[in-house]
Amino acid sequence: MILSSPHVHTQFCDAKNTAEEMVLSALDHGFSSIGFSSHAKQVFDHRYAMDDEREKNYISEIRRLQKKFEGKIRIWLGTELDLFCCAERSSFDYVIGSLHLLPMADRIWGVDNTKHRLIQIRDEVFGGDGLAMAMEYFRYYGAYLFAQRPHIAGHMDLIRKNNMDGDVFDESDPRYQQAALNALQMVKKSGAVIEVNSGAMARYGAKSPYPSRFLLEAWLKMGGEVMLSSDCHSAENIMTGYAESVDLLLSVGFKTAKVLGRGDQLFETTELAPIK
């Protein structure tokens, strides 16, 4: 099985390690390719995303590493977009379409901030109706993906991040599942590959990756394609959660996954095999 991750953060945005430290960790773990995905420039709040200066340095550093590690590992230059990003897309080899922010009730809310903040959105914007909040998130996500047409659909049910105990909204409710499935249809129309993102397993103790099993089952029936993604913010987590993600995908019925290519093609296909 070819190992890779398209979703790697560095000190150029909100992560701990340098890009070179991430490459060295990827090599240690037997990766054949790696893609960097610093948070793209936004029209406001450069706290966790890049600004003009950092973007310039990011691009030149990743291009330098591509040359330095040529023949050892294929390095790709990507970026993680959000609703308010203003980056020039053609500067990058590929883009991940993610939705961390939602504009609602005259404010912009971070949906993956803290549990306290999620409850605040539920109560202040949706009058305590967590299900309505989750459904609105998926409506935005589907429309956003369809409009952006990124190469990769990022952590599609991120709204679950602070609902691990299921006490903010009920993920088994048919209305929740239908809203998520509607978004999935829009992702299919966008042509994106869905990432199976284990970032929250490394950072927040989540038991499983994004997206939920029922979405993966529906995605398989739709003929959709998946790729493993660590969304890592430190070098030691370059493939944290991959073993569990592969087991999940195999149990759903996926036989193969996309990975970032080792040559000129952005994607290639690998057989899925359990990771010891």
- Give the residues lining the site for Zn ion (CB under 5 A): 80, 98, 231
Q: Count the residues in the chain.
A: 276
CA-CA distances (angstroms) from residue 127 to 121, 124, 130, 232, 258? Answer: 9, 6, 9, 35, 41
Provide, rounded to whole angstroms, the least separation between the CB of residue 101 and Zn ion. 10
Q: Considering beta carbons, is residue 98 or 240 the nearer one to Zn ion?
A: 98
Q: Considering beta carbons, is residue 35 or 224 the nearer one to Zn ion?
A: 35
Q: Considering beta carbons, is residue 98 or 198 the nearer one to Zn ion?
A: 98
Provide, rounded to whole angstroms, the least separation between the CB of residue 154 and Zn ion. 5
Contact 186, 139 (CB under 8 A): no
Provide, rounded to whole angstroms, the least separation between the CB of residue 80 and Zn ion. 5
Q: How far is Cα 172 from Cα 220, in angstroms, rounded to an integer?
A: 20
Q: Considering beta carbons, is residue 98 or 212 the nearer one to Zn ion?
A: 98
Q: Three-class SS of residue 256?
A: strand
Provide, rounded to whole angstroms, the least separation between the CB of residue 13 and Zn ion. 8
Q: Considering beta carbons, is residue 80 or 136 the nearer one to Zn ion?
A: 80
Q: How far is Cα 194 from Cα 228, in angstroms, rounded to an integer?
A: 9
Helices 213-221, 174-190: axis angle to 10 degrees equals 50
Amino acid identity for residue 127 in this structure: G
Residue carrying the six token digits 């370059």: 238
Provide, rounded to whole angstroms, the least separation between the CB of residue 223 and Zn ion. 26
